[in-house]
Structure 1
């Protein structure tokens, strides 16, 4: 199994840090009427230029960190990395076309949906090749070709599908809260939080595995 490069580990660690810094710094600057449970993160950028710069900078950094992590996740099947990378690129686009004065540009809305879906669905996409190989092995009645317990737990089909469904469920909850739901802010924070924590879990798990079982020299 190929190793996870140091820069992918760094970008994965950066994800939750950037998210917390962006939310906390921007929220502390808001007027008394701001409600973090009801107002979305995008609404933070509509209170002033400084707030918009703070939030959009963190959001752009978040998307870039997702993209770098996707490139560095070498042990993950390519389809999973592509879906993950699309989510990161869409997050950068969300930052490039911000919400201003309560007006949401269409590009911002579309990019936000693509970003949330990509960042939520990639754990399931990453295990699809393993599911297909297992299915072909069963068709050939070849138990030796079926993926065994040596597969990292973060890349096992049951785990990947469960994580993806959980994050997609959080995204659906967010969609139901928009535009006037009373818990839209909470739903968005929980969804984004899950989407930055899981890549870090995957990276650290794969890093530990490659340290315990170094790849054979070529």
Structure 2
């Protein structure tokens, strides 16, 4: 039995495709008056906007993809999988508290913050401390080629989480200073959608022994 089933590979691979496809379709429906570099994705999902239905459906399916992937990612720790699933639930809850067409919303902002936070920290929480962990769940310490000593190597999960947190700060600063929050948000959400797929891919070649059920 593989560390991840085929359907986890499917769900994780669909997430970034759905995300990009959803916001691009909603932008096309919104028309030329929408500037994706300065306007957030949430505006596209605001109630009454042309792309409201598209974005609502996308968020529901995207959240389901995260949850399914978390359920199937057996190589990750339970805490990391719970954080990934929590990010998926947050995406679904966003459909219940859409952002207003203009201005802010405390409820929407709170759900976005929780979702971004969970999806930013799950890579670190999911790390497998075993010496033979897949590269997507690689620990900071690993055996040398000879197998006799331990040595430092780059911790992929920490680097990914740090990059996501940096993008989140970029997004917040962009909102406050009227910079390019649309670009920052798209980079962040795409990275958070892509990373589960890359983790699943890193686990795919690994086999584990299992007893017949």
Q: TM-score, normalised by structure 1?
A: 0.83
Give the structure with the higher percent helix. Answer: 1
**What corresponds to 1:133 in structure 2?**
none
The alignment yields a C-alpha RMSD, in angstroms, of 1.9
Selected match of 1:151 from 124, 128, 133: 133
1:195 Cα deviation after fit:
0.4
1:9 Cα deviation after fit:
1.5
1:85 Cα deviation after fit:
1.2
**What corresponds to 2:211 in structure 1?**
217
Pair 1:185 & 2:194 matched: no
1:106 Cα deviation after fit:
2.1
Instruction: Classify the secondary structure of the residue corresponding to 2:10.
Output: helix
CA distance in 2, matches of 1:180, 1:48: 27
Does the CA contact (< 8 Å) of 1:93 and 1:108 recur in 2?
no
Pair 1:86 & 2:86 matched: yes
CA distance in 2, matches of 1:62, 1:179: 28
The worse-fitting range, judged by mean Cα deviation, of 98-107 and 10-19 is 98-107
Aligned length: 197
Pair 1:124 & 2:119 matched: no
CA distance in 1, matches of 2:116, 2:39: 17
1:81 Cα deviation after fit:
0.6
| Structure 1 unmatched runs, 5+ | 131-146
Q: TM-score, normalised by structure 2?
A: 0.85
1:55 Cα deviation after fit:
0.9
